[in-house]
Amino acid sequence: MENYITLYKETRRKLKAYRYFGWLMGWDQETEAPELAVEYRTKQYQVLAEESYKLQSDPQFMEAIEKLHENLDQLGDQDFKVEIKNAYKDLRIVKKVPKDEFIAYQVLVSQGSQIWAKAKDNNDFSMFEPTLEKIVEFNRKFVKYLETPELKGYDILLDMYEEGFGVQEYDLFFNTLKEELVPFVLEVTKNNRQKFSRRLTKAVYPKDKQKEFSEYLIEVFNYDLKRGVLKESAHPFTSGVSTRDTRITTHYHEDNFTSSIFSTIHEMGHAIYELQNDPKYDDTSLHGGTSLGIHESQSRMYENMIARSMAFWKTHYPKLVELFPKQLKDISVEEFHRFINQAQRSLIRIEADELTYSLHVMVRYELEKQLINGKLKVKDLPNKWKSLMSKYVGKRPTTDKEGVLQDIHWSGGMIGYFPTYALGSAYAAQMYQAMNKEIDIEKEIENNNIKAINEWLRKHVHQFAQSKTPKEILNICTKEDFNPTYYVDYLKNKFSSV
């Protein structure tokens, strides 16, 4: 067994190095690489993908994984057992997906974001349609390659992002939202035309001052700039490889200054999770969040439950006024709090309010499910998107840019990813209630002691990295199974009063 363990760990060391450089390429591409660099970078990325695939598909490495999996009971270290289980699960891709198709797909999605960005800039879905058709077609073949008696079709993609959640589980969850939340949302937003000062809605908020406030927020949330960085990108995201390097981006709109505030905080929620992993996982395959849903629970909790609270702005609104004295003159913290918590029908997911956000995700879930099972063609996406948005959110897009082209995810092949956003918000509500039983969250927020919240989450969620499943994490954290009632009740209570 020792020979297999040695071989596995040595190959893992090399694979992590390839992934590191691939990650650096991706970070550079999304933040500051010049437009004409894409072709040359793609050539280099293809070499990395080929070399990495050789390692993953090496017969000796695959044999090591299979033998170690057959003898899990002989592996004393529990974390290593989990890693081998995961590696064995991933092995099916190498064994069952044809090499040429897999590499071609990796190259395709490495170019996807650039093609999507141009299509979005031009407000023209037809520019992205051929690429998306190839991505969807590969994923349809991909699930056929990986089907098992337990998992078939779209379930395979869903399970990759959230272990234990498939169509059956998500249908039950989203049906709860359809029955309990959609009628409430449509009623609350029907005539919700709150009036706010024009300085909140029409004033110009200079980009340099927004950056300064983002830097202030970094200190408030204790995001360690010795192990992270904040830059700009078209679509805010978090990207990390270890507890010593986890980076975030945001985007500044001078006519929508709260966008950067909550994008920055959202991404810090993701980053703090990974930075607070136990460092022992850095050189293993277990570093990072255990699932997309648990990951999103952290960013949503920081963004919505902490940073949209009155307790938070009682403490930090004076700093915002200091940076924007003319724009926020005579605007009370109470009005600002109502402004950032207003519920309304909107078209853009990342700009959606907390109440309607999960309904945007539900639209994407239904579209993905139909794309993968063949009931929806890519060319029909724009119109179907508009129809579902009208049905669930109560507002119909008129352009591709504000509709089907608004998200980057499909361009990177991330199908099965979107549903975790809604699930994460539901996890967050359940976790918040559990944490509030042990610490007075509102008091800690008002006292500018986010460290106490970070530490509770480190102990109950973050430290475990991928060594525990989502269900195990939720049980450790809340001492009960997933219950979406917390989420629905939280939203109804909050937005009935706001």
Task: Find the mean pLDDT for residues 326-339.
Answer: 96
Secondary element (H or E) of residue 242: strand 238-242
Q: Mean pLDDT, the chain, as a whole number?
A: 94
Tell how many helices (H) and how many strands (E) occur in the chain.
22, 3
Annotate 29-67 with DSSP letters as a single string.
HHHT--GGGHHHHHHHHHHHHHHHHHHHH-HHHHHHHHH
Q: What is the pLDDT of residues 285-295, one digit of tens each?
A: 999 999 999 99
Tell which phi-psi region holds residue 236, choosing left (phi > 0), alpha (psi between -120 and 50) or beta.
Answer: beta
Residue 351: name the closest of 416, 254, 258, 270 by CA. 258
Residue 355: name the closest of 306, 411, 425, 298 by CA. 425
Residue 160: name the closest of 375, 441, 414 by CA. 414
pLDDT at position 192: 64
Both tokens of residue 317?
Answer: 């609104």
pLDDT at position 44: 93
Q: Which residues are catalytic?
A: 267
In this prediction, residue 393 has a pLDDT band, given cuts at 50, 70 and 90, of: very high
Binding-site members for Zn(2+) are: 266, 270, 296
**For residue 402, is pLDDT > 70?**
yes
Task: Find the mean pLDDT for residues 326-340.
Answer: 96
In this prediction, residue 191 has a pLDDT band, given cuts at 50, 70 and 90, of: confident
Secondary element (H or E) of residue 421: helix 419-436
C-alpha span between 299 and 316 (Å, rounded): 19
Q: What are the residue boundaries of the structural domains of the chain, listed by start? A: 2-96, 169-497
In this prediction, residue 478 has a pLDDT band, given cuts at 50, 70 and 90, of: very high
Binding-site members are: 266, 270, 296
pTM, rounded to two decimals: 0.86
pLDDT at position 194: 75
Q: Which residues contact 410 (CB under 8 A, 6 or more apart)?
A: 112, 116, 132, 135
State which CATH number among 1.10.1370.30, 3.30.1660.40, 3.40.50.280, 2.160.10.10 fits the domain covering 169-497. 1.10.1370.30
Task: Find the mean pLDDT for residues 246-270.
Answer: 96
